[in-house]
Structure 1
């Protein structure tokens, strides 16, 4: 601790209020034990940084021991009467009531604002230091700017708009908040009380996603666009509005900021996305924008049809927002989830679209943003990225887009597991990770028609991959409208049609043995002869990928593959044989 500083005088008048002048040591006794929401101390007035430098002459804190009322409070370092002082911070032991505006001095550096009582104002804009409001906050708009600032608010917070542009803001609880807007990444954090496994209440601090676009609640005249197209506040609001104690909000936009028409909007978004050609072919659509991923996925669950529109914020935030439409019940479900490092749900908020709570606003905002991203025309930058990907994939002979690959599936949606396998296959190359296996485009059903030219037969299968080095192929047997429920058969190049896997994931598991399937008239099986086995160059990457994506350990023995194949045969072999017999296709002898 440095030598105790002397104060140049006992009191000073700032913004019409008489403050007591105190030094660092006295300030430390008041604010040194203030903590954040994780129990860590916030202030060290002796740290000698840009926040509390000791190289300035006459460094002081100003202390108000009683409640204070002001008209405008801008936290300058000096006053006209005392230009030779350097104010490190303003400390209010009681309540602070400012009629028009509370403002920091400069985005790079400003005195700290520390209020132990309640703070009331119309607008408050902070930056340049760590600020602390310990008794709650009531205002119209809260603005935090630039990463040289940080804000902690304990107690109840009532505000129409909380807006952060690259400044961390921590809140204990939202009492009445209408809109939260973070520019780009989430910068606003809120505490939640949750029960642990033993029933104890624990407090968790989470990043909170934006609930609106800025234009949903702010008057358009104060909105500009960044070079990335993001809506940001312009520079005209401070002098024209805040200094006058007026609002930048447009209360006539109630329909937008209250999401009064969300139900009809969401139903329309589902209809539009469902009609996209890409969705019709692939069965889903997803796009990445920065660290965020946006998706539209139709699916069936417990016999009911759903469509899900979602946004996932990655890069360590691990926040997922999902809006689901049940076509059968005509109900909307909104889900805000926080995920662990493995992508599993740690905790979530879920309700319908009419439920109150700012948590549901985040999901509505995410759904609207996802729709915009998924329906946007590709930009030149997107085209360049696509060109880069195509260039990368040209290293391999088997390069094709997912759209091209999906054509052979007609109206069937590609299983999600197959889409994932496609992405791996294109990245590493066919026949580089499992012996002689690779996804292929089959322009017609020429191979299948050699078995039977009856339309019912050849339209009952979709070939999708090469199975071995002699020309056998894998195909879905279409016994269900959902390919996830369709078994996989192998068409032998020299005879034999056999079930090998119950679904896509089971086939992927079989591929981890890194040996091709053997097919004859009577049987299909996987056999690795260790004497002649040569490991594929990307086998290890593939096995690691399978473990990460599906939590499946790599198969090491022939017996393990037999078990998977036999399970499929037990479930589907008789049914397949009966189907083949209808078309006079000879069946091999059972070898169960």
Structure 2
């Protein structure tokens, strides 16, 4: 690596004078910071994606004393010095920001590293690996997109911690009112548990959502995805920038679950009238159940949610009809579904662990009582996410979205496999969908020529991207597969459906950026799907293809498709004024 010299000793940023240091000096300060598994977080020399070594004048900015400022946006440069490239901001003391702390870009942003306590009203982070070493006090903390990651050591006080596809690791929650994961659990918390030999060990577990967004946030700042999922939207960042809160304190009855006892008893009564026995719904990798049973002579009813796909989290709320007691259980299980750790208490017990069980019971009740008849073409917004990934639709129903196009035989085979084993059970976050309108595609362009040139047919990842045929031929076997990114970007993925099926054998979801798309399996966090082996055997049997075992193999398939269709697709998109990413070759 070439020698990096600092262009000047100090710089003014957001009204604060920072010391300018180079990569080597930064390494001396942050190189030994560790996560909750004692693994080092930063390598400023080898991690050239987070800390590029190809930019001119790469620097870190260092504050050695406590800092107070009004707002803090972590830009890469300043108007006065546009030729510098800021890799990160390091605060050795406390950081107090009156209104808002925010990253610069979801794809990449300077790192925020604070050794003291961080205090602000709102903090929204993404695009980098961030570290808050002395705890955090705020109203709302949001994390967005899988290019970012956050580690917080010390005490955390917040009304809302909200993650939309970004890992967030916490040492402890001192006073946290709500945790909301937009899709899969992305928030992790350390817990002290007793091992089998009686020793106390610290473990890091994924933490399920404790509320719906509408339970705690002002309705004006809630939007809905095409799957019906509640997300922060409607210019909430303008409120953040003003130093105001999106929390609706008039919803205290909801976010404090003050009437949960009566509500839960009513849930049990409704479900017991619906069925005298078990009621079960499995949607994607989450299972919802109502189970009446007798234990030690007492009659119970249980409402539960169990999150699979490697998370193995079960949340159960039980009502004893005889003594009228409610029991709440949060349980983490091993791969054999045996209990590893449990939190058990009644409905009046304090602690955010019990909030997630109450949220699970409420969610399960909504799922188990939802009407889903064959003739129901319209779904409530709250239930859309369940219906979209339901594998119960017939091949005839699936074919409707293809119009006059014949469904390729390979896709029919995939439909039959999914029908037997279930959506999202054989390749991470992938599932065939019924999409009988062009609502999602129309968000790119409402010109008929554009949206009628694609047929969406599958969900591509957990954040809302989708796969579609690009209709360049009357025979879909000759039409490439593209991915529509939920955060932007339309890219060619595979030459045909068989090539896409081959990509799916890596068993990891596709990542879609504005500039490019890729598959990346991180072995440290990878959890095998339950029907992966059956899928691999099926692919070998039907197509004589061996399962893909490396990220590099997926690049070959994608690059082959790009060579044939990328230029043509970009020219087509440009016709409709759709911005094209600049992919590095």
User: TM class by shorter-chain length?
Assistant: 0.5 to 0.7
Q: Kindly state the Cα deviation for residue 197 of structure 1 after the two structures are TM-superposed.
A: 2.6
Q: Which moved more, 1:377-386 or 1:309-318?
A: 377-386
CA–CA distance in structure 2, aligned partners of residues 84 and 48 of structure 1? 22
The TM-score, its normalising length taken from structure 2, stands at 0.65
Aligned to 1:29, the other structure's residue is in SS state: helix
Gaps of 5+ in 2: 378-386, 398-418, 422-533, 535-585
Residue of 266, 271, 293 corresponding to 1:273: 271
Q: 1:383 to 1:6 in 2, by over 3 A?
A: closer
Q: State the partner residue of 1:516.
A: none
The TM-score, its normalising length taken from structure 1, stands at 0.64
Q: Which moved more, 1:112-121 or 1:229-238?
A: 229-238
Aligned to 1:131, the other structure's residue is in SS state: strand
Residue of 236, 239, 242 corresponding to 2:240: 242
Q: Kindly state the Cα deviation for residue 268 of structure 1 after the two structures are TM-superposed.
A: 0.3
CA–CA distance in structure 2, aligned partners of residues 196 and 311 of structure 1? 25
Summarize deviations over 1:140-195 as a string: whole Å, max 9, x none: 00000000000000000000000000000000000000000000100000000112
Q: Kindly state the Cα deviation for residue 50 of structure 1 after the two structures are TM-superposed.
A: 2.5
Q: State the partner residue of 1:312.
A: 306
Contact 1:4 1:24 in 2 (8 A): no
Q: State the partner residue of 2:392.
A: 386
Q: State the partner residue of 1:366.
A: 360
Q: Kindly state the Cα deviation for residue 390 of structure 1 after the two structures are TM-superposed.
A: 12
Contact 2:227 2:388 in 1 (8 A): no
Q: 1:307 to 1:242 in 2, by over 3 A?
A: same
Q: State the partner residue of 2:336.
A: 342
CA–CA distance in structure 1, aligned partners of residues 195 and 325 of structure 2? 31
Residue of 290, 294, 301 corresponding to 1:296: 290
Contact 1:124 1:143 in 2 (8 A): yes
CA–CA distance in structure 2, aligned partners of residues 65 and 194 of structure 1? 37
Q: Does 1:123 align with 2:129?
A: no
Q: Kindly state the Cα deviation for residue 3 of structure 1 after the two structures are TM-superposed.
A: 3.2
Q: 1:382 to 1:220 in 2, by over 3 A?
A: closer
Q: Kindly state the Cα deviation for residue 382 of structure 1 after the two structures are TM-superposed.
A: 7.5
Aligned to 1:363, the other structure's residue is in SS state: helix
CA–CA distance in structure 1, aligned partners of residues 420 and 220 of structure 2? 47
Q: State the partner residue of 1:82.
A: 81
Q: State the partner residue of 2:321.
A: 327
Q: State the partner residue of 1:177.
A: 176
- Greater RCO, 1 or 2 (C-alpha within 8 Å, sep 6+): 2
Q: 1:10 to 1:294 in 2, by over 3 A?
A: same
Q: Kindly state the Cα deviation for residue 48 of structure 1 after the two structures are TM-superposed.
A: 4.4
Q: Kindly state the Cα deviation for residue 47 of structure 1 after the two structures are TM-superposed.
A: 1.9
Summarize deviations over 1:462-511 as a string: whole Å, max 9, x none: xxxxxxxxxxxxxxxxxxxxxxxxxxxxxxxxxxxxxxxxxxxxxxxxxx
Q: Does 1:354 align with 2:348?
A: yes
Gaps of 5+ in 1: 392-425, 429-540, 542-592
Q: State the partner residue of 1:255.
A: 253
Summarize deviations over 1:259-284 as a string: whole Å, max 9, x none: 000000000000001111xx23xx11
Q: 1:237 to 1:3 in 2, by over 3 A?
A: same
Contact 2:283 2:390 in 1 (8 A): no
Q: Kindly state the Cα deviation for residue 427 of structure 1 after the two structures are TM-superposed.
A: 7.6
Q: 1:390 to 1:345 in 2, by over 3 A?
A: farther
Contact 1:161 1:180 in 2 (8 A): yes
Which structure has the bigger radius of gyration?
1
Summarize deviations over 1:46-105 as a string: whole Å, max 9, x none: 124321111111000000000000000000000010000000000000000000100000
Give the length in aligned residue pairs.
Answer: 389
CA–CA distance in structure 2, aligned partners of residues 198 and 427 of structure 1? 43
